[in-house]
Structure 1
Amino acid sequence: MPTGVHLRDARQQLFDAAEHVLLRAGPNGLTSRAVTDEAGCAKGVLHRHFTDFDTFLAELVLDRAAQLDAQALALREAVGSGTVSDNLTGALTTLFGPVPVAIIPLITFRDELRARLRQVMPNGGIAILAQVTAAVSGYLTEERARGRISADADIDSLTLSLVGGSHLLFADRDPGRPPAPAAVGKLVDTVLADVVQRRPR
């Protein structure tokens, strides 16, 4: 990496490199050496910008979690349009993309990373899953307010079923081979069947 590269550029290069390593080699393959080799820079570059590797990983997770905000906003903007099932099927397919799915086990396997994430964000120890959960819960709450799902629908239970079930569908796959949209749609339809059928007409 040329000397004089702006800090922001160096950080993003390292984050992008870590993402590539994570998708290719999984959490066990994500080491500081693998990241700097992927980025094509000296190992010292990473340590010049981050206190240690866990700090780097925490900032990587926060950066990628923040990217889910735009997708969560798109789901909220769909309130009242289309069908609840189609909106959630599309959103869950996007929110559980290859990078978020790869980051979740990274967080699970590294105690220090979870501890650092908890210090900087609510529910940070389960970042990514927390982002998806908040997006789905917020969407369901607004659809309930509009009468598109039952007034007595248990939003917390529905959210846990949708997020947990979707995570299982996406996690047991090789990167780049997500479940078919029909499989996600079937899960969503099954979870929502009762609350959609009983909603006021």
Structure 2
Amino acid sequence: MPTGVALRDVRRQLFDAADRILLRDGPSGLTSRAVTTEAGCAKGVLHRHFDDFDAFLADYVLDRVERLVPEAAALRSAAGTGTVAGNLTTALTALFGSVAVAIIALITFRDELRARLRHTWPAGVPVLTEAAEMIADYLAAEQELGRIPAGAEAQTLAAMLIGTGHLLFADRTGTPPDEEAVHRMVGSVLRS
């Protein structure tokens, strides 16, 4: 790879390259060489911006968690519109249809990454924890509007939706569940 080539927004280019590799090759295919090759830059570029590869991965995961913020706001603003099951189906399909499932596998796959993430993320699994909070916040808003029973536990329902949704989408090599399958799952959890 040529050196001395000016790159714009190196972090974004490297993170986007990591997305593509994770989706295509899974966590075992994600190496510093693979990332820089996919991004079209010299390997040294990654090491000029990050202490080591696990520091890159930790920043990458946290960056992808931050991407859930607008999704959470959109879901929260959907409270009172459409159907609760429909809104949750859309949110879960978008969440698990993204690179999120592959990031969860990456966190599980790399011990050093998990250790580094514990410094800024002391509990739970990044992406899943944030997604559960997003769903619980939405359910609480729907509960305030009377569209979810007053006695329902929003946090528990959110955890059930995230866990079951993750199981539906976990096989990244197979065909992802269709919208109807996700909607059935959401309806089952909401009725529980």
User: What TM-score does the superposition give when structure 1 sets the normalisation length?
Assistant: 0.88
User: Paired residue for 1:87?
Assistant: 87
Report if aligned partners of 1:173, 1:179 keep a CA contact under 8 Å in 2: no
User: Paired residue for 1:130?
Assistant: 129
Are 1:15 and 2:15 an aligned pair? yes
User: Paired residue for 2:151?
Assistant: 152
Report if aligned partners of 2:169, 2:177 keep a CA contact under 8 Å in 1: yes
Superposed CA RMSD: 1.7
User: 1:82 offset after TM fit, Å?
Assistant: 1.2
Question: 3-state SS of the aligned residue for 2:99?
Answer: helix
User: Paired residue for 2:165?
Assistant: 166
Aligned-partner residue type, residue 141 of structure 1: A
Of the three residues 182, 186, 193, the one matched with 2:180 is: 182
User: Paired residue for 1:3?
Assistant: 4
User: Paired residue for 1:197?
Assistant: none
User: Paired residue for 1:191?
Assistant: 189
Report if aligned partners of 1:96, 1:170 keep a CA contact under 8 Å in 2: yes
Equivalent-residue separation in structure 1 for 2:106 and 2:51 (angstroms): 19
Q: Which runs of 5+ in 1 are unaligned?
A: 195-201
Equivalent-residue separation in structure 2 for 1:173 and 1:46 (angstroms): 27
User: 1:97 offset after TM fit, Å?
Assistant: 2.0
Equivalent-residue separation in structure 1 for 2:103 and 2:61 (angstroms): 7
Give percent identity, aligned residues only.
58
Report if aligned partners of 1:89, 1:181 keep a CA contact under 8 Å in 2: yes
Task: Give 1:35-184 correspondences, 5 Å limit.
Answer: 35-121=35-121, 123=123, 126-174=125-173, 177-184=175-182
Aligned-partner residue type, residue 190 of structure 1: S
Aligned-partner residue type, residue 6 of structure 2: V
User: How many residue pairs align between the two structures?
Assistant: 191
Q: Which moved more, 1:143-152 or 1:162-171?
A: 143-152
Q: Which moved more, 1:152-161 or 1:41-50?
A: 152-161
User: 1:2 offset after TM fit, Å?
Assistant: 5.9
Q: Which runs of 5+ in 2 are unaligned?
A: none
Moved over 4 A (4+): none
Q: Which moved more, 1:8-17 or 1:44-53?
A: 8-17
